[in-house]
Chains A and B, each alone.
Chain A
Protein backbone atom coordinates (compact mmCIF):
# COMPACT_ATOMS: atom_id res chain seq x y z
CA UNK A 1 0.00 0.00 0.00
CA UNK A 2 1.15 3.51 -0.68
CA UNK A 3 2.00 6.18 1.83
CA UNK A 4 3.61 5.84 5.20
CA UNK A 5 1.56 3.33 7.08
CA UNK A 6 1.79 4.97 10.46
CA UNK A 7 0.13 8.16 9.28
CA UNK A 8 -2.75 6.60 7.39
CA UNK A 9 -3.57 3.77 9.75
CA UNK A 10 -7.00 3.51 11.31
CA UNK A 11 -8.77 0.86 13.26
CA UNK A 12 -11.94 -1.17 12.97
CA UNK A 13 -13.16 -4.41 14.49
CA UNK A 14 -13.62 -7.94 13.21
CA UNK A 15 -15.80 -10.02 15.54
CA UNK A 16 -15.01 -7.50 18.23
CA UNK A 17 -11.24 -7.74 17.80
CA UNK A 18 -9.58 -4.45 17.04
CA UNK A 19 -7.68 -4.46 13.77
CA UNK A 20 -5.51 -1.81 12.13
CA UNK A 21 -5.87 -1.02 8.45
CA UNK A 22 -4.32 1.42 6.03
CA UNK A 23 -6.09 3.52 3.46
CA UNK A 24 -6.74 1.44 0.38
CA UNK A 25 -6.66 -1.93 2.13
CA UNK A 26 -9.55 -4.32 1.78
CA UNK A 27 -11.14 -5.88 4.83
CA UNK A 28 -9.48 -9.17 3.93
CA UNK A 29 -6.01 -7.67 3.58
CA UNK A 30 -6.30 -6.01 6.96
CA UNK A 31 -7.61 -9.24 8.49
CA UNK A 32 -4.72 -11.23 7.01
CA UNK A 33 -2.20 -8.82 8.49
CA UNK A 34 -3.87 -9.16 11.87
CA UNK A 35 -3.88 -12.95 11.75
CA UNK A 36 -7.60 -13.30 11.27
CA UNK A 37 -8.61 -15.72 8.54
CA UNK A 38 -11.58 -14.94 6.31
CA UNK A 39 -12.44 -17.94 4.11
CA UNK A 40 -11.84 -17.38 0.40
CA UNK A 41 -11.51 -19.24 -2.85
CA UNK A 42 -11.22 -16.81 -5.74
CA UNK A 43 -8.85 -14.45 -3.99
CA UNK A 44 -5.16 -15.25 -4.01
CA UNK A 45 -2.18 -13.36 -2.73
CA UNK A 46 -0.44 -11.41 -5.47
CA UNK A 47 -3.41 -11.41 -7.83
CA UNK A 48 -6.02 -8.74 -8.54
CA UNK A 49 -9.16 -9.13 -6.45
CA UNK A 50 -12.11 -10.59 -8.34
CA UNK A 51 -14.89 -11.01 -5.80
CA UNK A 52 -16.71 -13.82 -7.53
CA UNK A 53 -16.80 -16.92 -5.32
CA UNK A 54 -18.48 -14.94 -2.50
CA UNK A 55 -17.08 -17.33 0.12
CA UNK A 56 -15.48 -14.36 1.85
CA UNK A 57 -18.86 -12.76 2.50
CA UNK A 58 -18.77 -10.83 5.79
CA UNK A 59 -21.13 -8.36 7.38
CA UNK A 60 -19.81 -4.85 7.48
CA UNK A 61 -22.00 -2.20 9.04
CA UNK A 62 -24.93 -4.60 8.79
CA UNK A 63 -24.52 -5.23 5.04
CA UNK A 64 -23.17 -8.40 3.49
CA UNK A 65 -20.16 -7.68 1.31
CA UNK A 66 -17.21 -9.59 -0.08
CA UNK A 67 -14.26 -8.99 2.20
CA UNK A 68 -11.76 -9.38 -0.63
CA UNK A 69 -13.06 -6.33 -2.50
CA UNK A 70 -14.62 -4.16 0.21
CA UNK A 71 -12.33 -1.39 1.45
CA UNK A 72 -11.80 -1.34 5.19
CA UNK A 73 -13.37 1.72 6.79
CA UNK A 74 -12.51 3.42 10.08
CA UNK A 75 -14.61 2.35 13.00
CA UNK A 76 -16.52 -0.27 11.06
CA UNK A 77 -17.80 -3.37 12.86
CA UNK A 78 -17.23 -6.46 10.75
CA UNK A 79 -18.72 -9.88 11.45
CA UNK A 80 -16.77 -12.86 10.18
CA UNK A 81 -16.92 -16.08 12.20
CA UNK A 82 -20.65 -16.28 12.85
CA UNK A 83 -22.84 -19.36 12.45
CA UNK A 84 -24.96 -17.46 9.95
CA UNK A 85 -22.06 -16.42 7.72
CA UNK A 86 -20.46 -19.83 7.88
CA UNK A 87 -23.76 -21.37 6.83
CA UNK A 88 -23.87 -19.04 3.79
CA UNK A 89 -20.30 -19.96 2.98
CA UNK A 90 -21.04 -23.65 3.29
CA UNK A 91 -23.95 -23.21 0.89
CA UNK A 92 -21.62 -21.56 -1.62
CA UNK A 93 -18.99 -24.25 -1.29
CA UNK A 94 -21.70 -26.87 -1.75
CA UNK A 95 -22.90 -25.07 -4.84
CA UNK A 96 -19.41 -25.30 -6.31
CA UNK A 97 -19.22 -29.00 -5.52
CA UNK A 98 -22.54 -29.58 -7.23
CA UNK A 99 -21.81 -27.41 -10.24
CA UNK A 100 -18.81 -29.52 -11.24
CA UNK A 101 -17.78 -33.13 -10.84
CA UNK A 102 -15.82 -33.69 -7.68
CA UNK A 103 -14.71 -37.23 -6.87
CA UNK A 104 -12.14 -36.40 -4.22
CA UNK A 105 -10.96 -39.95 -3.51
CA UNK A 106 -9.62 -40.33 -7.04
CA UNK A 107 -8.52 -36.74 -7.54
CA UNK A 108 -4.85 -35.98 -7.49
CA UNK A 109 -5.51 -32.67 -5.74
CA UNK A 110 -7.00 -34.45 -2.74
CA UNK A 111 -5.32 -33.15 0.37
CA UNK A 112 -3.97 -30.18 -1.55
CA UNK A 113 -7.34 -28.89 -2.70
CA UNK A 114 -8.70 -25.63 -1.32
CA UNK A 115 -12.29 -26.50 -2.17
CA UNK A 116 -12.06 -29.75 -0.29
CA UNK A 117 -10.22 -28.06 2.56
CA UNK A 118 -12.84 -25.34 2.74
CA UNK A 119 -15.52 -28.00 2.99
CA UNK A 120 -13.69 -29.49 5.99
CA UNK A 121 -13.25 -26.12 7.60
CA UNK A 122 -16.89 -25.20 7.14
CA UNK A 123 -18.12 -28.52 8.48
CA UNK A 124 -19.59 -29.86 5.31
CA UNK A 125 -19.91 -33.27 6.81
CA UNK A 126 -23.27 -34.45 5.57
CA UNK A 127 -24.78 -35.29 2.25
CA UNK A 128 -25.97 -32.08 0.68
CA UNK A 129 -29.43 -31.15 -0.45
CA UNK A 130 -28.57 -29.56 -3.78
CA UNK A 131 -29.02 -31.38 -7.08
CA UNK A 132 -25.94 -32.42 -9.02
CA UNK A 133 -25.52 -30.70 -12.37
CA UNK A 134 -23.15 -33.41 -13.63
CA UNK A 135 -21.49 -31.52 -16.41
CA UNK A 136 -19.61 -33.41 -19.04
CA UNK A 137 -16.70 -31.31 -20.21
CA UNK A 138 -13.90 -32.58 -22.40
CA UNK A 139 -10.48 -33.15 -20.88
CA UNK A 140 -7.79 -31.14 -22.64
CA UNK A 141 -4.59 -33.22 -22.65
CA UNK A 142 -3.21 -31.72 -25.84
CA UNK A 143 -0.26 -29.99 -24.20
CA UNK A 144 2.91 -32.04 -23.61
CA UNK A 145 3.30 -30.93 -19.98
CA UNK A 146 -0.12 -29.72 -18.84
CA UNK A 147 -3.63 -31.15 -18.72
CA UNK A 148 -6.90 -29.43 -17.98
CA UNK A 149 -9.88 -31.12 -16.40
CA UNK A 150 -12.43 -28.35 -16.22
CA UNK A 151 -14.97 -30.69 -14.66
CA UNK A 152 -13.26 -29.68 -11.43
CA UNK A 153 -13.00 -26.00 -12.24
CA UNK A 154 -14.69 -23.64 -9.81
CA UNK A 155 -14.44 -20.59 -12.08
CA UNK A 156 -12.30 -18.74 -9.59
CA UNK A 157 -10.37 -17.12 -12.43
CA UNK A 158 -7.06 -17.27 -10.56
CA UNK A 159 -5.39 -18.85 -13.58
CA UNK A 160 -6.77 -16.07 -15.80
CA UNK A 161 -5.36 -13.29 -13.65
CA UNK A 162 -2.05 -15.07 -13.03
CA UNK A 163 -1.52 -15.65 -16.72
CA UNK A 164 -2.46 -12.11 -17.67
CA UNK A 165 -0.84 -10.15 -14.90
CA UNK A 166 2.05 -12.28 -13.68
CA UNK A 167 3.05 -14.18 -16.81
CA UNK A 168 1.97 -11.44 -19.21
CA UNK A 169 0.42 -14.06 -21.49
CA UNK A 170 -3.33 -14.37 -21.37
CA UNK A 171 -3.53 -18.13 -21.78
CA UNK A 172 -6.89 -18.38 -20.01
CA UNK A 173 -10.16 -16.47 -20.16
CA UNK A 174 -13.86 -16.80 -19.48
CA UNK A 175 -16.35 -17.61 -22.20
CA UNK A 176 -20.14 -17.80 -22.12
CA UNK A 177 -22.46 -16.51 -19.47
CA UNK A 178 -24.63 -17.75 -16.65
CA UNK A 179 -24.28 -21.42 -15.81
CA UNK A 180 -22.47 -21.83 -19.14
CA UNK A 181 -19.69 -19.48 -18.12
CA UNK A 182 -16.45 -21.43 -18.35
CA UNK A 183 -12.74 -21.03 -18.22
CA UNK A 184 -11.32 -21.61 -21.69
CA UNK A 185 -7.94 -21.22 -23.32
CA UNK A 186 -6.60 -18.80 -25.88
CA UNK A 187 -6.93 -21.08 -28.89
CA UNK A 188 -8.46 -24.35 -30.01
CA UNK A 189 -6.83 -26.18 -27.11
CA UNK A 190 -3.98 -25.82 -24.65
CA UNK A 191 -1.33 -27.02 -27.12
CA UNK A 192 -2.45 -24.19 -29.38
CA UNK A 193 -1.47 -21.59 -26.74
CA UNK A 194 1.89 -20.42 -25.42
CA UNK A 195 1.29 -21.96 -22.00
CA UNK A 196 4.41 -23.38 -20.35
CA UNK A 197 4.60 -25.60 -17.31
CA UNK A 198 6.86 -22.99 -15.72
CA UNK A 199 4.11 -20.32 -15.91
CA UNK A 200 2.90 -18.92 -12.64
CA UNK A 201 -0.65 -19.68 -13.82
CA UNK A 202 0.22 -23.38 -14.01
CA UNK A 203 1.95 -23.54 -10.62
CA UNK A 204 0.46 -25.58 -7.83
CA UNK A 205 -0.61 -22.56 -5.77
CA UNK A 206 -2.69 -20.83 -8.40
CA UNK A 207 -5.39 -23.37 -9.25
CA UNK A 208 -7.11 -24.13 -5.94
CA UNK A 209 -8.49 -27.45 -7.18
CA UNK A 210 -7.39 -30.30 -9.38
CA UNK A 211 -8.23 -28.68 -12.67
CA UNK A 212 -4.85 -27.55 -13.96
CA UNK A 213 -2.69 -30.65 -13.82
CA UNK A 214 1.05 -30.83 -14.35
CA UNK A 215 1.78 -34.05 -16.17
CA UNK A 216 4.16 -36.63 -14.69
CA UNK A 217 4.15 -35.15 -11.19
CA UNK A 218 0.84 -36.56 -9.96
CA UNK A 219 0.84 -37.81 -6.38
CA UNK A 220 4.41 -36.59 -5.89
CA UNK A 221 3.55 -35.75 -2.30
CA UNK A 222 1.93 -38.78 -0.71
CA UNK A 223 -1.53 -38.51 0.77
CA UNK A 224 -1.16 -37.83 4.45
CA UNK A 225 1.63 -35.35 3.89
CA UNK A 226 -0.28 -32.91 1.78
CA UNK A 227 -0.96 -29.35 2.75
CA UNK A 228 -4.40 -29.76 4.23
CA UNK A 229 -3.61 -33.11 5.76
CA UNK A 230 -1.58 -31.08 8.26
CA UNK A 231 -3.96 -28.32 9.22
CA UNK A 232 -7.18 -26.58 8.37
CA UNK A 233 -7.16 -24.13 5.51
CA UNK A 234 -6.24 -20.72 6.84
CA UNK A 235 -4.11 -22.01 9.75
CA UNK A 236 -1.05 -20.25 8.35
CA UNK A 237 -2.80 -16.91 8.65
CA UNK A 238 -4.27 -17.66 12.05
CA UNK A 239 -0.89 -18.68 13.41
CA UNK A 240 0.25 -15.07 13.04
CA UNK A 241 -1.97 -14.15 15.97
CA UNK A 242 -0.59 -16.71 18.36
Chain B
Protein backbone atom coordinates (compact mmCIF):
# COMPACT_ATOMS: atom_id res chain seq x y z
CA UNK B 1 0.00 0.00 0.00
CA UNK B 2 1.42 3.33 -1.07
CA UNK B 3 -0.22 6.40 0.40
CA UNK B 4 0.45 9.98 -0.51
CA UNK B 5 -0.69 12.78 1.78
CA UNK B 6 -0.77 16.11 -0.02
CA UNK B 7 -0.68 19.74 1.07
CA UNK B 8 -0.30 19.08 4.77
CA UNK B 9 1.03 21.07 7.67
CA UNK B 10 3.48 18.47 8.97
CA UNK B 11 4.89 18.33 12.48
CA UNK B 12 8.47 17.12 12.13
CA UNK B 13 11.70 17.82 14.00
CA UNK B 14 9.76 19.84 16.57
CA UNK B 15 8.20 22.25 14.09
CA UNK B 16 5.55 22.52 11.38
CA UNK B 17 6.49 22.44 7.69
CA UNK B 18 4.23 22.56 4.65
CA UNK B 19 4.41 19.71 2.19
CA UNK B 20 3.58 16.13 1.32
CA UNK B 21 4.26 12.75 2.92
CA UNK B 22 4.72 9.52 1.04
CA UNK B 23 4.15 6.22 2.86
CA UNK B 24 5.46 3.01 1.40
CA UNK B 25 5.98 -0.41 2.99
CA UNK B 26 4.60 0.79 6.35
CA UNK B 27 7.22 3.49 6.63
CA UNK B 28 7.54 7.13 5.84
CA UNK B 29 9.46 7.04 2.59
CA UNK B 30 9.54 10.77 1.89
CA UNK B 31 8.53 13.84 3.87
CA UNK B 32 8.28 17.51 2.92
CA UNK B 33 8.16 19.47 -0.29
CA UNK B 34 6.06 18.48 -3.25
CA UNK B 35 6.15 14.75 -3.81
CA UNK B 36 5.06 13.33 -7.16
CA UNK B 37 4.69 9.56 -7.14
CA UNK B 38 2.20 6.92 -8.11
CA UNK B 39 0.24 6.05 -4.99
CA UNK B 40 -2.57 3.60 -4.28
CA UNK B 41 -4.29 6.29 -2.25
CA UNK B 42 -3.94 10.02 -2.15
CA UNK B 43 -5.27 12.11 0.71
CA UNK B 44 -5.69 15.84 0.35
CA UNK B 45 -4.83 17.21 3.79
CA UNK B 46 -5.11 20.86 2.84
CA UNK B 47 -5.76 22.95 5.92
CA UNK B 48 -5.08 20.07 8.28
CA UNK B 49 -2.12 19.05 10.41
CA UNK B 50 -0.25 15.80 10.16
CA UNK B 51 1.03 14.78 13.57
CA UNK B 52 2.83 11.70 14.83
CA UNK B 53 0.28 9.18 16.04
CA UNK B 54 -0.42 9.69 19.73
CA UNK B 55 0.88 7.10 22.18
CA UNK B 56 -1.00 6.37 25.39
CA UNK B 57 0.95 4.83 28.23
CA UNK B 58 -2.16 4.17 30.26
CA UNK B 59 -5.31 2.54 28.87
CA UNK B 60 -7.75 0.05 30.28
CA UNK B 61 -9.07 -2.10 27.44
CA UNK B 62 -11.04 -4.34 29.87
CA UNK B 63 -10.30 -7.38 27.72
CA UNK B 64 -10.35 -10.12 28.91
CA UNK B 65 -13.02 -10.22 31.55
CA UNK B 66 -15.06 -7.03 31.32
CA UNK B 67 -15.80 -6.82 27.66
CA UNK B 68 -19.23 -5.34 28.33
CA UNK B 69 -17.32 -2.14 29.15
CA UNK B 70 -14.73 -2.28 26.36
CA UNK B 71 -12.72 -4.79 24.38
CA UNK B 72 -9.59 -4.71 22.33
CA UNK B 73 -11.51 -3.94 19.14
CA UNK B 74 -13.59 -1.06 20.52
CA UNK B 75 -10.78 0.22 22.71
CA UNK B 76 -8.34 0.48 19.83
CA UNK B 77 -11.05 1.88 17.55
CA UNK B 78 -11.68 4.59 20.14
CA UNK B 79 -7.92 5.15 20.22
CA UNK B 80 -7.76 5.57 16.45
CA UNK B 81 -10.74 7.95 16.65
CA UNK B 82 -8.75 10.04 19.11
CA UNK B 83 -5.63 10.09 16.91
CA UNK B 84 -3.80 7.37 18.83
CA UNK B 85 -1.73 4.75 17.04
CA UNK B 86 -0.48 2.97 20.15
CA UNK B 87 -1.83 2.23 23.60
CA UNK B 88 -0.41 0.45 26.60
CA UNK B 89 -2.93 -1.98 28.07
CA UNK B 90 -2.95 -2.02 31.85
CA UNK B 91 -2.99 -5.43 33.52
CA UNK B 92 -6.06 -5.11 35.76
CA UNK B 93 -8.11 -7.36 33.52
CA UNK B 94 -9.97 -10.52 34.57
CA UNK B 95 -7.90 -12.61 34.78
CA UNK B 96 -5.05 -10.27 35.61
CA UNK B 97 -2.28 -9.97 33.04
CA UNK B 98 0.28 -11.57 35.30
CA UNK B 99 1.37 -14.49 33.13
CA UNK B 100 2.57 -15.23 29.62
CA UNK B 101 -0.74 -16.72 28.46
CA UNK B 102 -2.61 -13.51 29.25
CA UNK B 103 0.07 -11.46 27.54
CA UNK B 104 -0.18 -13.57 24.40
CA UNK B 105 -3.98 -13.40 24.38
CA UNK B 106 -3.93 -9.59 24.28
CA UNK B 107 -1.18 -9.51 21.67
CA UNK B 108 -2.99 -11.96 19.40
CA UNK B 109 -6.33 -10.20 19.70
CA UNK B 110 -4.71 -6.85 19.02
CA UNK B 111 -2.72 -8.17 16.05
CA UNK B 112 -5.78 -9.73 14.46
CA UNK B 113 -8.47 -7.19 15.29
CA UNK B 114 -6.87 -4.06 16.71
CA UNK B 115 -6.98 -0.57 15.23
CA UNK B 116 -3.85 0.51 17.09
CA UNK B 117 -0.66 -1.01 18.38
CA UNK B 118 -1.26 -2.53 21.78
CA UNK B 119 1.67 -2.80 24.15
CA UNK B 120 1.07 -5.04 27.10
CA UNK B 121 1.90 -3.96 30.63
CA UNK B 122 2.31 -6.93 32.93
CA UNK B 123 1.48 -7.00 36.61
CA UNK B 124 4.00 -6.30 39.33
CA UNK B 125 2.42 -8.81 41.67
CA UNK B 126 0.37 -11.93 41.01
CA UNK B 127 -3.35 -11.09 40.74
CA UNK B 128 -2.40 -7.55 41.74
CA UNK B 129 -2.70 -8.86 45.26
CA UNK B 130 0.48 -7.20 46.51
CA UNK B 131 1.77 -10.46 47.95
CA UNK B 132 4.01 -12.23 45.42
CA UNK B 133 6.13 -11.00 42.52
CA UNK B 134 4.57 -11.79 39.12
CA UNK B 135 6.54 -13.71 36.48
CA UNK B 136 8.09 -10.58 35.07
CA UNK B 137 10.97 -12.20 33.23
CA UNK B 138 8.75 -14.62 31.35
CA UNK B 139 6.34 -11.85 30.46
CA UNK B 140 9.25 -9.68 29.32
CA UNK B 141 10.35 -12.44 27.01
CA UNK B 142 6.77 -12.47 25.74
CA UNK B 143 6.90 -8.77 24.94
CA UNK B 144 5.63 -6.70 27.85
CA UNK B 145 6.97 -3.17 27.92
CA UNK B 146 6.61 -2.42 31.64
CA UNK B 147 5.09 -3.71 34.85
CA UNK B 148 2.37 -2.09 36.91
CA UNK B 149 -0.26 -3.01 39.48
CA UNK B 150 -2.31 -0.08 38.19
CA UNK B 151 -5.65 0.32 39.88
CA UNK B 152 -3.89 -1.01 42.92
CA UNK B 153 -0.73 -0.13 44.76
CA UNK B 154 1.74 -2.45 46.45
CA UNK B 155 1.36 -1.46 50.10
CA UNK B 156 4.15 -3.58 51.53
CA UNK B 157 7.37 -1.58 51.18
CA UNK B 158 9.63 -4.59 51.62
CA UNK B 159 7.84 -6.45 48.83
CA UNK B 160 7.97 -3.35 46.62
CA UNK B 161 11.71 -3.18 47.19
CA UNK B 162 12.01 -6.74 45.90
CA UNK B 163 9.69 -6.01 42.96
CA UNK B 164 11.81 -3.04 41.90
CA UNK B 165 15.03 -5.01 42.23
CA UNK B 166 13.56 -7.81 40.17
CA UNK B 167 12.13 -5.48 37.51
CA UNK B 168 15.42 -3.65 37.15
CA UNK B 169 17.14 -7.00 36.66
CA UNK B 170 15.14 -7.37 33.45
CA UNK B 171 15.15 -3.69 32.46
CA UNK B 172 11.43 -3.40 33.01
CA UNK B 173 10.15 0.06 33.85
CA UNK B 174 7.89 0.06 36.91
CA UNK B 175 4.70 2.10 36.58
CA UNK B 176 3.11 2.92 39.92
CA UNK B 177 -0.41 3.89 40.90
CA UNK B 178 0.54 5.81 44.03
CA UNK B 179 -2.08 5.35 46.70
CA UNK B 180 -1.59 4.58 50.35
CA UNK B 181 -4.73 2.68 51.29
CA UNK B 182 -4.64 3.59 54.95
CA UNK B 183 -4.71 7.29 54.07
CA UNK B 184 -7.12 6.98 51.15
CA UNK B 185 -9.57 4.90 53.18
CA UNK B 186 -12.98 4.76 51.55
CA UNK B 187 -12.53 8.23 50.13
CA UNK B 188 -14.53 9.32 47.12
CA UNK B 189 -13.18 12.76 46.23
CA UNK B 190 -10.27 15.02 47.11
CA UNK B 191 -9.90 16.14 50.72
CA UNK B 192 -10.74 19.77 50.23
CA UNK B 193 -13.51 22.32 50.35
CA UNK B 194 -15.87 20.34 48.14
CA UNK B 195 -15.59 17.19 50.26
CA UNK B 196 -16.35 19.28 53.33
CA UNK B 197 -19.40 20.77 51.67
CA UNK B 198 -20.76 17.54 50.22
CA UNK B 199 -19.95 15.41 53.25
CA UNK B 200 -18.29 12.82 51.05
CA UNK B 201 -15.42 10.74 52.38
CA UNK B 202 -12.20 12.09 51.00
CA UNK B 203 -8.80 11.07 49.70
CA UNK B 204 -6.00 13.38 50.84
CA UNK B 205 -3.13 14.28 48.54
CA UNK B 206 -0.95 12.67 51.19
CA UNK B 207 -2.21 9.24 50.10
CA UNK B 208 -0.45 9.80 46.77
CA UNK B 209 2.55 11.69 48.07
CA UNK B 210 3.76 9.21 50.69
CA UNK B 211 3.87 6.40 48.11
CA UNK B 212 5.67 8.58 45.58
CA UNK B 213 8.22 9.53 48.24
CA UNK B 214 8.62 5.88 49.23
CA UNK B 215 8.95 4.58 45.69
CA UNK B 216 11.43 7.26 44.65
CA UNK B 217 13.60 6.12 47.57
CA UNK B 218 13.15 2.49 46.56
CA UNK B 219 14.02 3.33 42.96
CA UNK B 220 17.13 5.11 44.12
CA UNK B 221 18.06 2.08 46.17
CA UNK B 222 17.42 -0.46 43.43
CA UNK B 223 18.22 1.42 40.25
CA UNK B 224 14.78 0.63 38.86
CA UNK B 225 13.22 2.89 36.23
CA UNK B 226 10.18 4.43 37.90
CA UNK B 227 7.23 5.93 36.07
CA UNK B 228 4.52 7.59 38.15
CA UNK B 229 1.03 7.25 36.74
CA UNK B 230 -1.62 9.98 36.88
CA UNK B 231 0.21 12.42 39.13
CA UNK B 232 -2.18 14.92 40.69
CA UNK B 233 -0.80 17.12 43.46
CA UNK B 234 1.63 20.01 43.74
CA UNK B 235 3.53 18.24 46.52
CA UNK B 236 3.91 15.11 44.35
CA UNK B 237 5.49 17.32 41.70
CA UNK B 238 7.98 18.66 44.23
CA UNK B 239 8.98 15.10 45.02
CA UNK B 240 9.48 14.33 41.34
CA UNK B 241 11.50 17.49 40.87
CA UNK B 242 13.82 16.54 43.71
CA UNK B 243 14.25 13.07 42.22
CA UNK B 244 14.97 14.42 38.76
CA UNK B 245 17.40 16.99 40.17
CA UNK B 246 19.29 14.08 41.67
CA UNK B 247 19.43 12.43 38.27
CA UNK B 248 17.21 9.49 39.16
CA UNK B 249 15.39 7.68 36.33
CA UNK B 250 12.00 8.94 37.39
CA UNK B 251 9.26 10.07 34.99
CA UNK B 252 5.61 10.88 35.40
CA UNK B 253 2.41 11.35 33.48
CA UNK B 254 -0.70 13.46 33.97
CA UNK B 255 -4.21 12.89 32.67
CA UNK B 256 -6.18 15.43 30.63
CA UNK B 257 -8.83 15.59 33.34
CA UNK B 258 -6.35 16.53 36.04
CA UNK B 259 -5.09 19.31 33.76
CA UNK B 260 -8.53 20.71 32.99
CA UNK B 261 -10.85 20.00 35.90
CA UNK B 262 -10.63 20.58 39.63
CA UNK B 263 -12.57 19.33 42.67
CA UNK B 264 -15.41 21.75 41.97
CA UNK B 265 -16.55 19.48 39.13
CA UNK B 266 -17.72 17.08 41.86
CA UNK B 267 -20.27 19.61 43.15
CA UNK B 268 -22.91 18.28 40.75
CA UNK B 269 -22.57 14.69 42.04
CA UNK B 270 -22.02 13.67 38.40
CA UNK B 271 -20.32 10.27 38.66
CA UNK B 272 -18.43 11.11 35.47
CA UNK B 273 -16.36 13.40 37.64
CA UNK B 274 -15.40 10.56 39.97
CA UNK B 275 -11.92 9.26 39.27
CA UNK B 276 -8.76 8.08 40.95
CA UNK B 277 -6.77 9.98 41.89
CA UNK B 278 -9.62 12.38 42.53
CA UNK B 279 -9.86 15.78 40.89
CA UNK B 280 -7.72 17.95 43.13
CA UNK B 281 -7.70 21.60 44.17
CA UNK B 282 -7.27 24.43 41.69
CA UNK B 283 -3.78 24.98 43.13
CA UNK B 284 -2.87 21.39 42.31
CA UNK B 285 -4.35 21.66 38.82
CA UNK B 286 -2.41 24.81 38.07
CA UNK B 287 0.77 23.17 39.36
CA UNK B 288 0.20 20.28 36.95
CA UNK B 289 -0.30 22.62 34.00
CA UNK B 290 2.88 24.50 34.87
CA UNK B 291 4.83 21.27 35.35
CA UNK B 292 3.65 20.00 31.98
CA UNK B 293 4.67 23.26 30.37
CA UNK B 294 8.12 23.12 31.93
CA UNK B 295 8.65 19.44 31.17
CA UNK B 296 8.70 18.32 34.80
CA UNK B 297 5.69 16.21 33.87
CA UNK B 298 6.99 14.14 31.01
CA UNK B 299 3.87 13.11 29.18
CA UNK B 300 0.09 12.99 29.05
CA UNK B 301 -1.71 9.67 29.48
CA UNK B 302 -5.45 9.15 29.28
CA UNK B 303 -6.11 6.57 32.02
CA UNK B 304 -8.94 5.54 29.68
CA UNK B 305 -11.26 3.73 32.11
CA UNK B 306 -14.52 2.59 30.54
CA UNK B 307 -17.51 1.78 32.74
CA UNK B 308 -21.01 0.85 31.61
CA UNK B 309 -23.93 3.23 32.14
CA UNK B 310 -25.59 0.98 34.67
CA UNK B 311 -22.43 1.08 36.77
CA UNK B 312 -22.00 4.85 36.64
CA UNK B 313 -25.71 5.69 36.96
CA UNK B 314 -25.62 5.07 40.67
CA UNK B 315 -25.25 6.89 43.93
CA UNK B 316 -21.94 8.76 43.88
CA UNK B 317 -20.29 6.79 46.65
CA UNK B 318 -20.99 3.40 45.10
CA UNK B 319 -20.27 4.27 41.46
CA UNK B 320 -16.87 3.11 40.14
CA UNK B 321 -13.92 5.47 39.63
CA UNK B 322 -12.78 6.49 36.15
CA UNK B 323 -13.70 7.99 32.80
CA UNK B 324 -12.96 7.25 29.16
CA UNK B 325 -10.32 9.46 27.59
CA UNK B 326 -8.86 8.26 24.32
CA UNK B 327 -11.28 10.16 22.12
CA UNK B 328 -11.25 13.40 24.07
CA UNK B 329 -7.62 13.79 25.16
CA UNK B 330 -6.37 15.91 22.27
CA UNK B 331 -9.45 18.08 21.68
CA UNK B 332 -9.99 18.76 25.39
CA UNK B 333 -6.37 19.75 25.89
CA UNK B 334 -6.22 21.73 22.68
CA UNK B 335 -9.33 23.66 23.69
CA UNK B 336 -8.45 24.26 27.34
CA UNK B 337 -4.68 24.60 27.29
CA UNK B 338 -3.53 25.52 23.77
CA UNK B 339 -6.35 27.79 22.62
CA UNK B 340 -6.18 29.61 25.96
CA UNK B 341 -2.41 30.05 25.66
CA UNK B 342 -1.52 27.96 28.72
CA UNK B 343 0.82 25.68 26.77
CA UNK B 344 2.04 25.60 23.21
CA UNK B 345 0.70 23.24 20.57
CA UNK B 346 4.24 21.93 20.14
CA UNK B 347 4.48 21.00 23.81
CA UNK B 348 1.09 19.29 23.70
CA UNK B 349 2.11 17.24 20.68
CA UNK B 350 5.45 16.34 22.27
CA UNK B 351 3.71 15.18 25.48
CA UNK B 352 1.38 12.95 23.47
CA UNK B 353 3.95 11.48 21.11
CA UNK B 354 7.73 11.47 21.49
CA UNK B 355 7.69 11.78 25.29
CA UNK B 356 5.69 8.58 25.98
CA UNK B 357 7.67 6.77 23.27
CA UNK B 358 10.92 7.67 25.02
CA UNK B 359 9.72 6.63 28.47
CA UNK B 360 9.00 3.05 27.44
CA UNK B 361 11.39 2.98 24.47
CA UNK B 362 8.59 2.46 21.97
CA UNK B 363 8.70 3.04 18.20
CA UNK B 364 6.78 6.00 16.78
CA UNK B 365 6.28 9.44 18.15
CA UNK B 366 8.13 11.16 15.31
CA UNK B 367 7.55 11.84 11.64
CA UNK B 368 10.77 11.34 9.70
CA UNK B 369 11.95 9.40 6.69
CA UNK B 370 12.53 5.76 7.53
CA UNK B 371 10.33 5.87 10.62
CA UNK B 372 7.17 3.82 11.00
CA UNK B 373 4.10 5.33 9.40
CA UNK B 374 2.10 6.03 12.54
CA UNK B 375 0.39 9.37 12.19
CA UNK B 376 -2.84 11.26 12.51
CA UNK B 377 -4.35 13.98 10.36
CA UNK B 378 -6.28 16.56 12.35
CA UNK B 379 -8.19 19.63 11.29
CA UNK B 380 -7.70 22.03 14.17
CA UNK B 381 -10.27 24.47 12.83
CA UNK B 382 -13.20 22.10 12.90
CA UNK B 383 -15.31 21.38 15.97
CA UNK B 384 -17.29 18.25 16.56
CA UNK B 385 -20.07 17.51 19.00
CA UNK B 386 -18.90 14.83 21.38
CA UNK B 387 -22.15 12.92 21.76
CA UNK B 388 -23.13 9.36 22.62
CA UNK B 389 -23.74 8.72 18.93
CA UNK B 390 -20.18 9.43 17.86
CA UNK B 391 -18.25 7.88 20.75
CA UNK B 392 -16.63 4.70 19.49
CA UNK B 393 -15.67 3.42 22.90
CA UNK B 394 -18.16 0.87 24.20
CA UNK B 395 -18.70 2.99 27.31
CA UNK B 396 -19.80 6.60 27.40
CA UNK B 397 -18.59 7.74 30.82
CA UNK B 398 -17.14 11.14 30.21
CA UNK B 399 -17.69 14.61 31.68
CA UNK B 400 -17.36 16.11 28.19
CA UNK B 401 -20.50 14.55 26.80
CA UNK B 402 -22.50 16.82 24.47
CA UNK B 403 -19.79 19.43 24.28
CA UNK B 404 -18.36 20.89 21.10
CA UNK B 405 -14.65 20.12 20.96
CA UNK B 406 -12.14 21.42 18.43
CA UNK B 407 -9.64 19.38 16.45
CA UNK B 408 -11.46 16.86 14.29
CA UNK B 409 -9.45 13.74 13.54
CA UNK B 410 -9.81 13.14 9.80
CA UNK B 411 -7.56 10.12 9.40
CA UNK B 412 -5.43 7.96 11.64
CA UNK B 413 -2.80 5.82 9.99
CA UNK B 414 -1.05 3.06 11.87
CA UNK B 415 1.71 0.99 10.38
CA UNK B 416 0.84 2.48 7.00
CA UNK B 417 -2.82 1.44 7.19
CA UNK B 418 -5.79 3.74 7.66
CA UNK B 419 -7.27 2.77 11.03
CA UNK B 420 -9.77 5.59 11.31
CA UNK B 421 -11.40 7.78 8.71
CA UNK B 422 -13.87 10.49 9.54
CA UNK B 423 -17.13 10.03 7.67
CA UNK B 424 -16.86 13.51 6.20
CA UNK B 425 -13.34 12.96 4.92
CA UNK B 426 -12.97 11.70 1.39
A binds B: no
